[in-house]
Amino acid sequence: MPDLSAFFGGTRPAGPAALRTLVNGGGGAIVLPGVTDALSARLVEAAGFPACYLTGAGMANVLFGVPDIGVVTQTEVVEHARRVVDSVGIPVVVDADTGYGGHLSVMRTVHLLETAGVAGIQLEDQAIPKRCGHFDGKRLVPREEMVARLLATQRARNDVDLLVIARTDAIAVEGFAAAIERAKTYRDAGADVIFIEALRTIEEIRAVPKELPDVPLLINIVEGGRTPELPAAELDGYGYRIVLHANFLMRAMLHAGTEALRALHVRRGSASLHDRLVSWDTRQSLVGQELADQVEDQIRDRATELTG
């Protein structure tokens, strides 16, 4: 049964400290699935993953039906992040794109997301408007501008455990060597985790941990994208701490939905399609219907006791 304590006015324990302990702890690389909403976050938690990642591309695709081209706003992301955080008991990392403006806007973004309860924030070094890391046509801000974004993030956070993930998209624009230099600069500026987007070869994947052995590394596996799809055990052996599958779940759900709707369109009814669906009970369990009923009954019973 999911933990709905935050939804019903309680407190949620799995915040920044839990995520930092997870990242800095032992064991194999952390597989971090991306989520697009509260229900997909519940699926990730129910499957046993220790944390989830609210994907910017996924929010653009699912909430607005648009590409990942930087049109989703700060307030839309913050509002949605709050709903996701309130839905699960595992830490939530949020893709905050470029921080949504200048240095003071970055500070406000961090403040709002921290207030929403997120455990980690990812910022990138693209210019506004940003684009998906596996799209062509990306532009970068100067290195010092990204450093300023990171400094603004650190200044704005109240909880020093709030994890700051610095992403560079420099490979496609300036090349691999420049991406490494940017990553080292961001590490030195205080980033807690380094993320070099869209690595192109196994040789590049192997080289990054050798160049950056003293900071946790995140690698993004985009199925069908530019980065070779290696298993987490192999990436752990190379020195990566977090293996992100940012849009795997969204795409799996899209595929399942497409197939189910195609069958519904052909058969003109759903009676023969139950094998494509989760059961009614599974759905209600996932959203905490039993707990909601228990809380309602407890309140009603107590009110009856007090009023005689």
Report which of residues 293 and 92 the model is more confident about.
92
Whether residue 8 has pLDDT greater than 80:
no
| DSSP H stretches of helix in the chain | 16-24, 38-46, 56-64, 74-87, 103-116, 143-156, 170-174, 176-188, 202-211, 232-238, 248-267, 280-286, 289-307
Per residue in 205-248, pLDDT (tens digit) is: 999 999 999 999 999 999 998 999 999 999 999 999 999 999 99
pLDDT value of position 1: 53
Longest dimension (CA), the chain: 75
pLDDT value of position 252: 97
Q: What are phi and psi of 157, to 5 degrees?
A: -70, 140
Provide the 3-class DSSP secondary structure of residue 217. Answer: strand
Compute the distance between CA of residue 174 and CA of residue 153 in angstroms, rounded to an integer: 25
pLDDT value of position 10: 45
Query: How confident is the prediction for the chain on average, in pLDDT?
Result: 93
Amino acid in the structure at residue 276: R
pLDDT value of position 44: 96
Contacts of 239 (CB under 8 A, 6+ apart): 208, 209, 210, 213, 217
Summarize the confidence of residues 249-266 as an average pLDDT: 96
DSSP element (H, E) containing 167: strand 163-168
Contacts of 276 (CB under 8 A, 6+ apart): 256, 259, 260, 263
Contacts of 183 (CB under 8 A, 6+ apart): 166, 168, 194, 196, 208, 211, 212
Q: Which of 91, 58, 106 is nearest to 250 (CA)?
A: 58
* Opening angle at CA 204, ends 191 and 222, nearest 5: 75
* Residue 127: alpha-carbon gap to chain centroid: 21
CA dist 75 → 79, 85, 161, 293 (Å): 6, 15, 23, 32
